[in-house]
Amino acid sequence: MIRDSSPGYRMDVVAVIQELGYYTELFSTGGYVPGFRPWGRRTAYSVAGMVCRTGNTTPPLSNDVFQPLVAAALYVVEVLALHVVELQQQLRGMTPNRPGRNSGRPSWKVEVVRAVDRRIREGDPFDVALDHVVAERLADGWDPDDPLLRVNLISLAHETGRHAFHYT
């Protein structure tokens, strides 16, 4: 024996050796013979000499820890939750037309047209896409003369209250 080892360490080593048997078809040479499993049907626990425990071995919390924990949880649920719900309702009332909040909002195609029209009307230039994004678009088959090739579509999506556009 080279060094002392715990049963848990031995169990981990045995488990790795046994698991390799499930992947023999991935090895071009040096794999286990088909059907071979080290130590036969014995589990890694039994090979390592470990006793498999059943049930929960963690002792329950003592009352001096458990009671304040339950009291704090009840306070959060019974007292704070009511105020949180009220604050959420107030927030919704303050931003009734915020994009993404109502299910009846226009499609992204309509919102993009509005955002583009606003930019043109105000003379606000579009954000420029990063070079690697332009390269990816060209690799995906975009026309090099496409007027949207260099437009940062993510910032345009953010302007419409979305994270991104899902288009095909």
Read off the pLDDT of residues 85-103 as tens digits, 9 standing for 90 and up.
888 888 777 765 555 544 5
Q: Residue 143: what pLDDT?
A: 92
Largest CA-CA distance found in the chain, in angstroms, rounded = 81
Q: Report how far residue 17's alpha carbon sits from residue 40's, in angstroms, rounded to the nearest whole number.
A: 12
What pLDDT score was predicted for residue 168? Answer: 45
Q: Which of 15-24, 100-109, 126-135 has the lowest mean pLDDT?
A: 100-109
Least confident of 78-82, 116-120, 148-152, 158-162: 158-162
pLDDT at 63: 92
> What is residue 158's predicted lDDT score, i.e. its pLDDT?
84
Distance CA 105, CA 70 (A): 43
Q: What percent of the chain has pLDDT over 70?
A: 88
| pLDDT of 160 over the 50 cut | yes
CA 1 vs. chain centroid, Å, equals: 44
For 122-129, the CB contacts below 8 A with 24+ separation are 126/151, 126/152, 126/155, 126/156, 127/151, 127/152, 127/155, 127/156, 128/152, 129/153
Cβ atoms 39, 47 nearer than 8 A:
yes
Average predicted confidence (pLDDT) for the chain: 82
Separation of first and last alpha carbons in the chain? 63
Question: Six-digit token pair at 60?
Answer: 């329950």
CA–CA dist 27, 154 (Å, integer): 45
Is the pLDDT reported for residue 132 higher than 80? yes
Residue 4, both tokens: 């002392």
Rounded CA separation 163/139 (Å): 23
Residue pLDDT, tens place only, 19-78: 888 887 777 777 788 778 889 888 888 888 887 777 787 888 899 999 999 999 999 999
Query: Which of the pair, 25 or 18, is modelled with greater confidence?
Result: 18
Confidence (pLDDT) at 1 = 54
pLDDT band at 120 (very low <50, low <70, confident <90, very high): confident
